[in-house]
Amino acid sequence: MEANVAQTLQFSAWIPSEKAVWRPSGSALVSRKLKENRKLQALVSARFPTVKASNRHRNVAFEVSCSYKNFPGSVLESESYQAPLDENLLLNKNSERVKPYLNGRCIYLVGMMGSGKTTVGKILSQVLGYSFSDSDTLVEHEAGGISVAEIFNHHGEGFFRAKETEVLQKLSLMNHFVVSTGGGAVIRNINWDYMQTGVSVWLDVPLKALARRIAAVGTGSRPLLKHETGDVYNKTLMRLSSLFEQRGESYAKANARVSLKDIAAKLGQRDVCDLTPTAIAIEALEKIDDFLKEEKEG
């Protein structure tokens, strides 16, 4: 289930004249006029070589033709540049490759709080033509419209977990949904029974990055992270570490694992927080594709 991508792009751009390397063609008059200008307007034609859709960065050859007023100009020598393949193009290519094999099955995103399940889930649902659902939001609706934090305060975690299981049971009977699950949904085996009717995907984010994200927006809406005043980042990191010790093995049960650390390494980025949600969604589709291929072969 691999796809090849080949594309030609054309666009107008201003290029510094000193960067131009001219082939021996065109009139001398045109060449002088072009050289007198610091910049010249060029029509850029970039031919992308045929590559695997999973390759997000590669060299592309540009053949550039230039014009000055009404005079045709020479053609710049071909040059190679490092350029990122457009994320939306890859996202759509990957989704088209996966759709026939998903056959309408739901996608369940699991992972720690703050891992981006809702944001990535909405991107996946849009590109796949699925509906999106957040299990926490559904639990809030089932509880009369109060927030998760209020459910924990008024009814306790046990009540919340029971409602969460009810929600997942209902979703397991549906098709064409991307579901963002709560961070603790994985701790109940029965929830896995429901999620295995679809494809489960673990968004694996380094704990330090999670702590930075959560500390930046506050912990008020996250009942399992409430703590007294002090160093919010360190306290959040300690609590997340404790939760991950309890849940790590459960997250690993997912059909596919999307490691933000691995994505950053592929793209040459040092900080996983600099990754775009689209880049993560692209990787998720690739991992889903790998799982479906193995499932079919097995």
- How would you write the pLDDT of the chain (298 residues) with one tens digit per residue? 444 444 444 444 444 444 444 333 333 333 444 444 444 444 444 444 444 444 454 434 434 444 444 434 443 333 333 334 589 999 999 999 999 999 999 999 999 999 999 999 999 999 999 999 999 999 999 999 999 989 998 999 999 999 999 999 999 999 999 999 999 999 999 999 999 999 999 999 999 999 998 887 765 545 555 654 567 888 889 889 999 999 999 999 999 999 999 999 999 999 999 999 999 999 999 999 999 999 988 7
Strand partners, 41: 14
